[in-house]
Amino acid sequence: MGHGSSGPPTRAPAPAPRGTLRRRIDGLVRELLKFGAVGGAGLLVNFLVFNLVRQVTDLHVVRASVIATIVAIIFNYIGFRYFTYRDRDKSRRTREMSLFLLFSAVGLVIENGVLYTATYGFGWDSPLQSNIFKFLGIAVATLFRFWSYRTWVFRALPVRGTVAGTGPVTGDRPKQRVP
């Protein structure tokens, strides 16, 4: 037999592509940095509008916060769509916008629920306390928003490439081979 065994020669399993895990981690880090840049700018917009509305109107704290959050949501959508997730699927904008607004509304409730609880539940309503609890609410809501936006709203495009033994993965039907 020549190979020193009585059975047919076997192949070793193909090694995993080098750097696949590393590329995924690098991609996630880049995404987090971009998300953070847009979110940080949105945070500034949120706080500027919140404190401006509180200074120039007689609106209650939570109402001023809701207005600021809505302005920040609009700002963030533009930043996420055209900067953070510009390489993501753009084919279903109506669905994307609907989901973005839905998850943003949930984030708005989380963010302002923390502020509402501090203000009306505990009586912590000085300007400093309001800003602290608004910040805490934003932090909790941001975790939810990051997960929901990347999972449901700005969906990744299908990977193009070759899967072992199946040919190119493009979403198209495979072509018939001519003998």
Three-state secondary structure of 126-171: CHHHHHHHHHHHHHHHHHHHHHHHHHHHCCCCCCCEEECCCEEECC
Task: Report if residue 178 sits inside a domain.
Answer: no
Task: Report if residue 137 sits inside a domain.
Answer: yes
pLDDT value of residue 17: 58
pLDDT value of residue 170: 47
pLDDT value of residue 55: 95
Distance, CA of 11 to CA of 14 (rounded, Å): 8
Task: Report if residue 175 sits inside a domain.
Answer: no
Residues of the chain with confidence (pLDDT) below 70: 1-18, 157-179
pLDDT value of residue 177: 44
Distance, CA of 43 to CA of 71 (rounded, Å): 11
Q: Are 46 and 68 in contact (CB under 8 A)?
A: yes
Distance, CA of 142 to CA of 156 (rounded, Å): 20
Task: Report if residue 105 sits inside a domain.
Answer: yes
Q: Count other C-beta atoms under 10 Å from residue 119's C-beta.
A: 21
The helices-and-strands tally (H runs, E runs) of the chain is 4, 2
Task: Report if residue 40 sits inside a domain.
Answer: yes
Distance (Å) of CA 54 to CA 47, 61, 104, 147, 172: 10, 7, 22, 31, 55
pLDDT value of residue 174: 45
Domains identified in the chain, total number? 1
Q: Which domain covers residue 107, as residue numbers? A: 26-156
Task: Report if residue 121 sits inside a domain.
Answer: yes
Task: Report if residue 80 sits inside a domain.
Answer: yes
pTM summary value: 0.71
